[in-house]
Copies of this chain bind each other. A is one copy, B any other.
Amino acid sequence: MPKVETFDKTLVIKQATDVFHDKGYSATSMQDLVDATGLNRSSIYNSFDNKHNLFIECLTAYQSAFGSKLSEILLKSTTPLESIQFIFDLYLKEMTAKKKDKGCLIVNCTSEMANHDKPITLFLQKNQEKMLGVLEDLVEKGQNEGTINKNKHYKAYALYLFTTMQGFRITGMLVSDKEQLQSVISTITQTLI
């Protein structure tokens, strides 16, 4: 019967995500989110309850957007090793796209909130499990194909890759030289060959 939601929730989450990504959770104020979305304060509270919950929705959307890009990568690559390289290339592309790299929202969130906020910590753990799962599958497949060496168990390699990815996201925040970053990627992936 009545008025229906007028604004694009997906867009609003994207706008809010940009702010959280740039400033982090604590340093982002509700006023920042009002400004970034153009929404009214009340509308934000109507739709997202509170800042914390909005942040979780942003995290989830961010994770899901990455999941889509990851799926594309898995489809277009011909070997597991190439998939891994493409993931790093994706990071590299994001880093060099803008002058100031904001890093990874999820890595930043780990640094800021891990072990402080229970639901967030749970999200981060689940996220890690998901990512490790993907990487384990890739490494195991590569080892069976013979394109990745068997010096280490595939689970060990997966955690190694996850670790280096997080480090790479941090490094990109202060290093903007594309060649240096590419060299880091090749060093990381050389380990697997």
B-binding residues in A (CB < 8 A): 23-24, 26-27, 100-103, 107-108, 110-112, 114-116, 121, 124-125, 128, 151-153, 156-157, 159-160, 162-168, 170-171, 173-175, 180, 183-184, 187-188, 190-191
* B residues less than 8 Å from A153 (CB atoms): 183
B173 and A162 contacting across the interface, CB-CB below 8 Å: no
How many copies of this chain are found per oligomer? 2
The reply to whether A187 and B180 contact each other, CB–CB distance below 8 Å, is no
A174→B26 contact, CB < 8 A = no
Are A187 and B174 in contact, with the CB atoms below 8 A? no
Flag if A101 contacts B116 (CB, 8 Å): no
* A107-B116 in contact (CB<8A): no
Are B183 and A159 in contact, CB atoms less than 8 angstroms apart? yes
Q: Are A167 and B163 in contact (CB under 8 A)?
A: yes
